[in-house]
Amino acid sequence: MTSSIPLTGTPSIASAINRHILTVTPDTSVADVIHKMSVTESASCQLSGDQPSGTKRASCVIVTNQDSVVGICTERDIVRLTATKLQLMTPLANIPVSRIMTSPVKTMEESAFQDIFAVLFLFRRYRIRHLPIVDDEQKLLGIVTPASIREVLRPANLLKMRRVADVMSQGVIQSPTTAPVIALAKQMAQHSVSCVVIVDRSADETDETDVCRPVGIVTERDIVQFQALGLSLQNVTAQAVMSTPLFLLDPKDSLWAAHETMQARRVRRLVVSWNWGQGLGIVTQTSLLRVFDPIEMCGVIDSLQQTVERMKVEDVKPEAQEQSLEEMVEGVVSAIAAISRQPQMSSTQVQQLQRAIALVEGASLSSDA
């Protein structure tokens, strides 16, 4: 499918591949894997996460046999094992990673990696957060993650146009401060979530209803670290180990504000709170990338068209109109340039995108006159 949309804004492909990979063999013990994921300071599957500035820990290890990918072990796999450890009654040093790794692994050949947005489609289709990149002989070359893609896209104005409420997940798993950490691990494993928000429940004096005030968070990465430190997860409570204080977002905040906060605080998720804690949500690195879903982009274009028409009806001052349209064009055209070439986009959708860009750019030019 050919598009007349300019491709100058297409994100770099090669820079989205992290070629510093943490690998292990199938017979490596889970204890060794946890240690490697906890102390890695230069090579890792994903270098940004929930840790203080200056430390870099891996979110996964790739299991290889003679450079070929045979499995992957992520923080989530460690959490699942932690949740069942009491039943296993087996020291982690005696459990090979091959027993808990995910296999087979979805991979992509480097020659087929022609567009970042195709990877986003695979993330969504297979519900994964790590995509190993291999050569034509299936030898491991690198890995692509939401973090590496987010670093490449840097979609300032597009994220400024969307709100936290557009992508946040409201299915937040909560737990009281008194809960043992092993219970948190079981919750993460049961619900397949990456974190549990720790809340302080207190009665509202005005209507005597319970108010859940978010006071901390415990993540998959924390569970891996607790295992590495040898903590007794049955005896340690959430209050003793949770990350606190929380930096809370409002649903009306822009996604750009969320992105900037994640970068500054080196975290992969943020808690959203409203109505004095009665409403809770979570925004993650992965959810930020939803704005680049082709279907989502069609919705953005519809919004742009409505904005342009509203500006005309309301007779917005030329200076304000020019600035607003300039931001919209800058933030959207480059993303659409790549998205419009995806196989899941129909010719009708591509034509809609082209017409929308022409409309917005035309309105911007008219404001100059």
Going by C-alpha positions, the residue among 86, 79, 269 that lies closest to residue 185 is 79
Question: Rounded to whole angstroms, how far apart are CA atoms 345 and 339?
Answer: 8
Average pLDDT, rounded, for the chain = 77
Question: Rounded to whole angstroms, how far apart are CA atoms 141 and 110?
Answer: 8
- Residue 214: φ, ψ to 5°: -65, 125
Model confidence pTM above 0.75: no
Exposure class string for 270-297: b at 16+ Cβ within 10 A, else e: bbbbbeebeebbbbbbbbbbbbbbbebb
Per-residue pLDDT tens digits for 127-141: 898 999 999 999 999
Per-residue pLDDT tens digits for 219-256: 999 999 999 998 889 899 999 999 988 989 999 998 88
Alpha carbons within 13 A on the beta-carbon side of 201: 10
Helices 75-88 and 220-229 pack at an angle, to 10 degrees, of 50
pLDDT at 149: 82
Residue type, 291: V
Say which range, 104-108, 153-157, 239-243, 257-261, has the weakest mean pLDDT.
153-157
Per-residue pLDDT tens digits for 269-301: 999 998 877 789 999 988 887 776 655 666 565
Would you list the DSSP string of 196-258?
EEEEEEEE-TTT--EEEEEEEEEEHHHHHHHHHHT--TTT-BHHHH-B-S--PBPTTSBHHHH
User: Does position 90 have pLDDT exceeding 60, yes or no?
Assistant: yes
Between 347 and 1, residue with greater pLDDT: 347
Considering only CA atoms, give the Rg of the chain.
23
CA 148 to chain centre: 10
Per-residue pLDDT tens digits for 33-49: 999 998 854 334 543 34
Per-residue pLDDT tens digits for 175-191: 999 999 999 999 999 99
Going by C-alpha positions, the residue among 259, 251, 264 that lies closest to residue 290 is 259
